[in-house]
Structure 1
Amino acid sequence: MSVIKTNAMNNFANADITDDIFFCRIMSEKQFALPLLQRIFPQLNIRSIEQPISQFTIKNNRKEHGVRFDVFSEAEQKYFDIEMQTTHDPTLGKRIRYYQGKMDSTFLKAGENYDLLPPTYIVFICTFDPFAEGAYKYEFSHIYDQTNHVTLKTGTHVILLNAYGTNPGSINGGLLNFLKLVAGEKATRYDPYLKQIQDKIAELKDNMQWRMIYMQEYNAIAVKERAEGIEQGITQGRAEGLKQGKAEGLKEGLKQGRKNSIALFIQNMLAQGSNEDDILKTLMIGFQLSEEEANDYLHANRVK
């Protein structure tokens, strides 16, 4: 059994709401996403939302760095991205900046007025304190540094939730209960919403079809991370090559290395009995290939 498959099985067995694949699946249902938004944003009085989209991807071309939102939804002409963040990321601020730009790029057509940009809300649910200030809820807006009384009205809102805050009186009880669930603690009082989430997780774990989907998605993520590592190596290698005046030769060598990695991945999946549709999907997600490119790679390695 491969290391990836073993890890996937262990993660599946121990999964809770912080597992990204489970989180996206559960929050893709209105009955779970709406109450969460209501707890995070009680001041907005959200009554209904459009169908949430999990793993919503924006990538305009192959050379561009795309983004994939965990859970994306619209509520009363406001747009929300909800992310589950379980690892410390020193570039989180710039990542949020990029997410915001990508989100905005989908709203306006040529010639339309900036006034048409809708309010947006980017939420990161963190299983750690991102600023070590003890707050459960960090909210950010564009405020004039000198007085703190003047706000730049961009319509953008960034919220970072911390599951391990120390000031429970600063947020509503419903949000506090949810964050305790994220932290693996018991709620301060019985909460039907949390019970529904836990029941849904148990239901999914008993569903063999969902288990197969989970394994495929986990494998795709692992492949994607490996591909990103290759791309990072290419970038670093190119920089070193430029210093040595050998950029072109290095680029070609690394490109061939990427091709070899894809070929090896295909051969391994074929040897494990994976069907071609699954291999194609994994190639497209993990290596950011077009359907045509993935088919070409599969054909080239199938006939050998």
Structure 2
Amino acid sequence: MENLKSFDELTFLDNFMFQCVLRNPRLCKHLIEKILQISVKELHYQEFEKTINLGLASKGIRLDVYVRDEQGRVYDIEMQCTQFPQKGLAKRSRFYQSMIDMELLEKGEKYENLNASYIIFICTFDPFGRNLPMYTFTHCCEEENTIKLKDGETRLFLNSKGSENARDPEIAAFLRYVDGKAAEGEFVRSLDQEVQFVKSLEKVRREYMILSDEIRRRQEEAMAKGMAQGMAQGMAQGMAQGMAKGQSAFVKRMLARGKSIQEIADGLGLSADEIKTLAEMEES
């Protein structure tokens, strides 16, 4: 069972605190502008930890921070502290993109109406091993990389380990902060102050306690279900082994009395090969 942090132990890297801090539109807006080097006038929050589930049989997703600006551009910002196997994070970003596109494009709407979208993973590790502070991916032609697809899709991966190569001092300070270093610069200090402010809010503390209790309840239910399944499988396996031992002992007695393998097989409704296997079973 996962050990949950207490509310006072939470940092900017923890999913709950990350969402709370970026509920501040001024900080969220500034972070987007710095990462993408664009201008944003206003942000509209869709949902906090937005859930997208397009069907009963499909896999749903929960987005950490999902916002839209005045031009209709959408931004999904994710804090990523767990390193996936090779290509795992890239495939996850692809899935997120497809789910967002499916939700954005209403039935009957034209494809050209799809919003420009940015999926931003803030990683506490180097996702591609090249020590770049940021990896930005857009679609371009392999034969002539100056030809851009211009489909409005951009995926970015920030690398907290690559701060020394960041050209923008604020991005460098932000990456160091994500990497566990002290808050430096006006913006990053504002983020850190927001963390402390959130911790002072009793309402948010209660919200986290309720969430933690729910997570523990689900963990306990999952553990109990796993134990019950394990016991059932163990009992079934034990019964099967017991029956096999009983059949093996019977087969050996019949063989000792001069019965042929085929006679025993006919009597038990088994194949001759199965009788041979039972006859060769070791006693324990």
- The partner residue of 1:16 within 11, 29, 36 is 11
Unaligned runs of 5+ in 1: 233-304
Aligned to 1:160: 157
Cα distance, 1:39 vs structure 2: 1.1
Kindly indicate whether residue 198 of structure 2 is the aligned counterpart of residue 204 of structure 1.
yes
**Aligned pair in 2 of structure 1 residues 146, 35: CA closer, same or farther (>3 Å)?**
same
What pairs with 1:84-95 in structure 2 (closer than 5 Å)? 84-90=79-85, 91-95=88-92
Report if the CA contact (8 A) 2:163-2:173 is conserved: no
Give aligned-pair identity as a percent: 27
Mapped partners of 2:129, 2:217: distance in 1: 33
TM-score, length of structure 2 as denominator length:
0.70
SS in 1 for 2:43: coil
Mapped partners of 1:223, 1:12: distance in 2: 18
Deviates most, 102-111 or 202-211:
202-211
SS in 2 for 1:39: helix
Mapped partners of 2:201, 2:34: distance in 1: 29
RMSD, aligned CA: 2.6
Kindly indicate whether residue 118 of structure 2 is the aligned counterpart of residue 124 of structure 1.
no
Mapped partners of 1:231, 1:134: distance in 2: 44
- The partner residue of 2:22 within 27, 31, 48 is 27
**Aligned pair in 2 of structure 1 residues 80, 174: CA closer, same or farther (>3 Å)?**
same
Matched to 1:57, the amino acid is: T
Aligned to 1:97: 94
SS in 1 for 2:79: strand
Mapped partners of 1:22, 1:92: distance in 2: 22
Report if the CA contact (8 A) 2:170-2:185 is conserved: no
Name the count of aligned residue pairs: 223
Asked which structure has the greater CA Rg, the reply is: 2
Aligned to 1:151: 148
Cα distance, 1:217 vs structure 2: 2.2
**Aligned pair in 2 of structure 1 residues 139, 106: CA closer, same or farther (>3 Å)?**
same
Aligned to 1:38: 33
Cα distance, 1:65 vs structure 2: 0.9
SS in 2 for 1:110: coil
Mapped partners of 1:228, 1:173: distance in 2: 46
Aligned to 1:237: none
Deviations, residues 119-140 of structure 1 (Å, cap 9, x unaligned): 1000000011111110110001
Cα distance, 1:222 vs structure 2: 5.5
**Aligned pair in 2 of structure 1 residues 16, 112: CA closer, same or farther (>3 Å)?**
same
